[in-house]
Amino acid sequence: MSPNPSTFNATSLELELHVWHVQVEQGVYFSLVVFGGLVLLPLVLLTFAFAKRGSRNSSLINFLAGLSIFSLGIVVLPLTGHLQTPVPPRNICLAQLGTIYPGLIITSVAAVMLVLQLLLTLPGSARPLHGAVNVTIAASPVASGVGYTIIQTSVAAKKADMLVLTRGHLVCSFDVGSPFFFRKGPLVILAIAFVIAIAVSGYMWVRMRATLRRIGAWQWKAMTQSEHGPWMSILLRMIAFEILATVAALLIILSIATANPAVHTLAVGFGGITPLLAFLVFGTVDTVRTVWFRWCFDVRDYAKPKTVEAEV
């Protein structure tokens, strides 16, 4: 069953899809998404899964997994050969949205769980997290994504007319006439999660800076190498990613407000690079670096001159 033709201006869109700058946007966007979200992030997740040493943060794993699922949904149209099709098959659009939005929701909820986990384990906290809390933190993102998928699938099967579809230059979307939950719900969840993550991260940053100022800034490096080092590392990486995400959001808002093709292409490119940025920020944690570059450490240790004590 094809989408309702009234939701697609097929002639206009078909012409736009063959404009050179639109094709440049598509090429840049999908190349970045595939490389970052479907190559590098899965490698990081496999490293976490099979690493024999190092810590595994469930919220961080969910965050990266959600971005990888989101990336898979983004490339559904080119993978199915419908990138230049002005009116893609309805089932293809539903499959794309049923992958993009759950991935986005998993990432959003995981970001909130990650900063809450950091807040509950602030250096100096006397109480360890209970097992039930850890299970809730680990399961909430996945449960949220699965819940959205079940709702969308049920509505699409029983009340298909409620879901009005359209497509843009890159992906399908729910059009006006669809319930607000489907059109804007995942984006609202993303916005709320973004605000919570920034607020909680900012609070923890202020607390951490106050502690460093009290004990002396010269102990910064010592603290990163202490038992609280992994905690500080995740917090700093989260803040760095939030700054990059803020830049991406501002570019997207600017591209909506202006008709300049160059600005729009820049915003699209920055949006496509988000999974790659997530890899650069979170995919370089100690556990991953140790596994990927273990041979460097082995060569360095082998090259060290042996002392008399080492030979005895």
295, burial (CB in 10 Å: exposed 0-12, middle 13-18, buried 19+): exposed
C-alpha pair distances (Å), 274 with each of 36, 132, 282, 302: 8, 32, 12, 38
pLDDT greater than 50 at residue 69: yes
Average pLDDT (36-53) is 87
Rounded CA separation 266/114 (Å): 29
Residue 273 CB partners (closer than 8 Å, separation 6+)? 32, 36
End-to-end CA distance of the chain: 78
Which has the closest alpha carbon to 74: 20, 30, 118, 131? 30
C-alpha pair distances (Å), 50 with each of 55, 233, 292: 12, 22, 12
Which has the closest alpha carbon to 271: 95, 31, 69, 12? 31
Please give the helix or strand (H or E) that residue 172 lies within, else none.
Answer: strand 172-174
pLDDT tier at 169, thresholds 50, 70, 90 = confident
Q: Which two tokens stand for residue 197?
A: 């993550």
In whole numbers, what is the pLDDT of the chain averaged over residues?
80
Phi, psi of 147 (to 5 degrees): -60, -45
CATH, domain range 5-303: 1.20.1070.10
pLDDT greater than 60 at residue 223: yes
pTM here?
0.84
| Amino acid, single-letter form, for residue 126 | A
Average pLDDT (201-224) is 71
Average pLDDT (277-297) is 78
Rounded CA separation 277/102 (Å): 20
C-alpha pair distances (Å), 21 with each of 176, 281, 307: 27, 30, 63
